[in-house]
Amino acid sequence: MASLTEEIKRRRTFAIISHPDAGKTTLTEKLLLYGGAIHIAGAVKSNKIKKTATSDWMEIEKQRGISVATSVMGFNYGDYKINILDTPGHQDFAEDTYRTLTAVDSVIIVVDVAKGVEQQTRKLMEVCRMRNTPVIIFVNKLDREGRDPFEILDELESELKIDVRPLSWPINIGAKFKGVYNIYENTLDLFTPDKQKVTNRVEIDNVNDSRIDDAVGETDAAKLREDLELIEGVYPEFDRDKYLAGKVAPVFFGSALNTFGVKELLDCFVKIAPSPKPIDTEERTVNPEESGFSGFVFKIHANMDPNHRSCIAFVKICSGRFERNAPYRHIRSGKVMKFAAPTAFMAQKKDIVDEAFPGDIVGIPDTGNFKIGDTLTSGEELHFKGLPSFSPEMFKYIENTDPMKSKQLEKGIQQLMDEGVAQLFTNQFNGRKIIGTVGQLQFEVIQYRLLHEYGAKCRWEPISLYKACWIESDDAEALDAFKRRKHQFMATDRQGRDVFLADSSYVLQMAQNDFPKIKFHFSSEF
Ligand code: G4P
């Protein structure tokens, strides 16, 4: 039996992120093909939330239902155990994606060669930067006309605010695309547009090998040498430690749809990407190799069937060996629990597992015991840090429309917030409850679920807010003065912390100018 250390070393847990349409689903699918986890292309598509379904959230929820099995895709690749954590493509579920990023050890960012860095990518990169998550970039769709690769590299650096280092280089793009030179391995792969077929490799010794000229023609071979010389002159040598520290992002080029450049990406990824790292808790740093088990809940997936109000809590294992039916302590409640049917996700099938290791995700069937961020351990009192909430983008007052059901409404709201569907603030001036979300869809989801799962009716009332920000100060008097001045706009979050509700960016800016002793935070973790 492999030791705990060996199991940890061979694990690679990561997420693929992108702006919708850049090719995340296609790349995921191709990686699964290499892992033998699926046999036909097109199998992951059902998991995708179609952006054409304009706000048809029932359809989206149905698709999310299907996606439980593909939320985590585990497979073996050579000696490695790979766990890909899926993230919803629809931007109204961005908060889910942020949380998933707390459970991965690295990410692959997919960028469309024609579109470059897009808005969603920029936002997700901010979260990676906050956590120093190692990032690899895959520039996709080289088979289509696009931008100059050097221009793309410059844009990646300036827009994503990270140094880049190409580890592969394309020979032309679009109709003239001939292939990719792998700088990391010094190999040349020729492009044959074929969705199922794998790369055609040319044996070469180095970049000056004349076999390159034979394969791509003298002109393109000369251009390639020129480009590579420029790259070596401009970009420092790839430094794995810098990558692991989140300071430099290696860049690969290819075409996911044509399964081109994907294997090179995967082969390099397993070599350089980190295995599970030590994680900070409020009490101390937890090392994955410790014998005591610990893990945290980063996602709760509710069952949309009102007759079975059950959920699956997704637990990221941080240390030790997780065993089925072993007694574990749920730190928030202090209860000892045993899990008879934990599931793991291998080759797109959900199976009951007897054990799992750091880096793995287990799904635990739950009937409302778990909250996002909860910690489970062999017994030690630990609280994992790092599940921030971001200031929502949309706000509405929630009002009860059936006075006989106020208890149900209250319970429903609390449980939905525990699942992380949205954020709840209580206005300290009028006592009214405000729900904050990142997208319009969540309001529909909440209203529907309150009715169907809790029998509670609600309606939304508009409130015009720009941002909610958490405030604090070392100066108690300044804090008091601020709260008095802004008393109509003060709220508390569920932990009772002070939140300032700014109704415009101008008001926020003025507040920041007028009250220099107050710190304004736009995420709940500070
Ligand atoms: P997403 O998950 O990031 O949203 O993107 P997805 O993989 O669904 O890809 C978006 C579209 O881009 C898809 O086309 C997909 O086939 C296409 N695509 C992905 N990789 C490549 C590539 O390397 N080259 C080219 N030319 N196209 C690529 P679609 O028409 O929206 O979907 P479908 O009808 O093909 O499924």
111-146 core/surface letters (b: 16 or more CB in 10 A; e: else): bbbbbbbbebbebbbebbeeeebbbbbbbbbbbeeb
Q: What is the DSSP string of 207-229?
A: TT-HHHHHHH-HHHHHHHHHHHH
Indicate whether 98 and 148 sit together in one domain: yes
Q: What is the CATH number of the domain that holds 284?
A: 3.40.50.300
Residue 305 lies inside a defined structural domain of this protein: yes
144 ligand 1 Cβ < 6 A:
yes
Indicate whether 294 and 400 sit together in one domain: no
pLDDT of residue 66: 47
Q: How many residues does the chain have?
A: 526
- d(CA 30, CA 432) in angstroms, rounded, equals 49
| pLDDT above 80 for 389 | no
- d(CA 264, CA 262) in angstroms, rounded, equals 5
Give the number of the atom of ligand 1 that is nearest the alpha carbon of residue 19.
3
pLDDT of residue 519: 95
User: How many A from CA of 46 to the centre of ligand 1?
Assistant: 14
Give the number of the atom of ligand 1 that is nearest the alpha carbon of residue 255.
23
pLDDT of residue 55: 45
Closest among 415, 317, 315 to 369, alpha carbons compared: 415
- By the 8 A CB rule, do 114 and 143 touch? no
Other Cβ atoms within 10 Å of 304 Cβ, number: 17
User: How many A from CA of 40 to the centre of ligand 1?
Assistant: 16
Q: What is the DSSP string of 291-353?
A: SS-EEEEEEEEE---TT---EEEEEEEEES-EETT-EEEETTTTEEEE-S--EEEETTEEEE-
Ligand 1 mutation pick, 17, 19, 26, max ligand atoms within 8 A of CB? 26
Domain boundary among 377, 408, 430: 377
Closest among 218, 217, 189 to 204, alpha carbons compared: 189
Give the number of the atom of ligand 1 that is nearest the alpha carbon of residue 144.
26
| pLDDT above 90 for 117 | yes
E-strand stretches of 121-247: 135-140, 163-166, 168-171, 179-182, 187-190, 200-202
Least reliable range by pLDDT among 2-11, 32-41, 456-465, 484-493: 32-41
Ligand 1 mutation pick, 21, 139, 199, max ligand atoms within 8 A of CB? 21
Domain residues for 13? 7-178+236-272
Residue 471 lies inside a defined structural domain of this protein: yes
Least reliable range by pLDDT among 47-56, 479-488, 516-525: 47-56
Indicate whether 131 and 268 sit together in one domain: yes
Residue 153 lies inside a defined structural domain of this protein: yes
133 ligand 1 Cβ < 6 A:
no
22 ligand 1 Cβ < 6 A:
yes
Indicate whether 487 and 352 sit together in one domain: no
Q: Give the residue carrying structure tokens 């080759």.
A: 347
For the record, the structure tokens of 102 come out as 């707390």
Q: What would the pLDDT profile of 274-320 be if each residue is shown by its tens digit?
A: 999 999 999 999 999 999 999 999 988 876 555 566 788 999 999 99
Q: Which residue has the higher pLDDT, 220 or 69?
A: 220
Other Cβ atoms within 10 Å of 427 Cβ, number: 18
Residue 417 lies inside a defined structural domain of this protein: yes
Indicate whether 163 and 126 sit together in one domain: yes
Residues 146-158, mean pLDDT to the nearest whole number: 95
pLDDT of residue 160: 94
User: How many A from CA of 67 to the centre of ligand 1?
Assistant: 19
Is the sign of the CA dihedral 291, 297, 299, 300 positive or negative?
positive
Q: In sequence order, which residues have a C-beta less than 8 Å from that of residue 4 and are 6 or more positions away?
A: 289, 291, 320, 321, 357
Residues 425-448, mean pLDDT to the nearest whole number: 90
Indicate whether 355 and 425 sit together in one domain: no
Q: What is the CATH number of the domain that holds 455?
A: 3.30.70.3280
pLDDT of residue 53: 39
User: How many A from CA of 244 to the centre of ligand 1?
Assistant: 30
- On average, the pLDDT of the chain sits at 87
Residues 196-208, mean pLDDT to the nearest whole number: 75
Ligand 1 mutation pick, 257, 258, 262, max ligand atoms within 8 A of CB? 257
Indicate whether 401 and 483 sit together in one domain: yes
Indicate whether 261 and 346 sit together in one domain: no
- By the 8 A CB rule, do 409 and 416 touch? no
Residue 226 lies inside a defined structural domain of this protein: no
308-333 core/surface letters (b: 16 or more CB in 10 A; e: else): ebebbbbbbbbbbbbbeeeebbbbee
Domain boundary among 349, 377, 405: 377
Residue 55 lies inside a defined structural domain of this protein: yes
| pLDDT above 60 for 260 | yes
Cross-strand partners of 137: 109, 251
Indicate whether 32 and 173 sit together in one domain: yes
Q: Which residue has the higher pLDDT, 185 or 2?
A: 185
Indicate whether 319 and 408 sit together in one domain: no
**The residue type at 183:** I
φ and ψ at residue 15, rounded to 5 degrees: -125, 150
Give the number of the atom of ligand 1 that is nearest the alpha carbon of residue 140.
23
Report how far apart, in Å, the C-alpha atoms of 404 and of each of 141, 397, 424, 426, 477 are: 57, 19, 22, 22, 43
**Total structural domains within the chain:** 3
User: How many A from CA of 52 to the centre of ligand 1?
Assistant: 14
pLDDT of residue 328: 97
Ligand 1: residue whose CA is nearest its atom 6: 23
196-218 core/surface letters (b: 16 or more CB in 10 A; e: else): eeebeebebeebebeebbebbee
Indicate whether 37 and 105 sit together in one domain: yes
Q: What is the pTM of this model?
A: 0.84
- d(CA 111, CA 238) in angstroms, rounded, equals 20
Domain boundary among 331, 350, 377: 377
The whole-angstrom distance between residue 127's C-alpha and the CA centroid of its chain comes to: 9
Indicate whether 266 and 294 sit together in one domain: no
Instruction: Report how far apart the first and last C-alpha atoms of the chain are (Å, whole number).
Output: 42
pLDDT of residue 524: 75
121 ligand 1 Cβ < 6 A:
no
Residue 221 lies inside a defined structural domain of this protein: no
Residue 210 lies inside a defined structural domain of this protein: no
What is the DSSP-derived secondary structure letter of residue 365?
E
- By the 8 A CB rule, do 177 and 258 touch? no
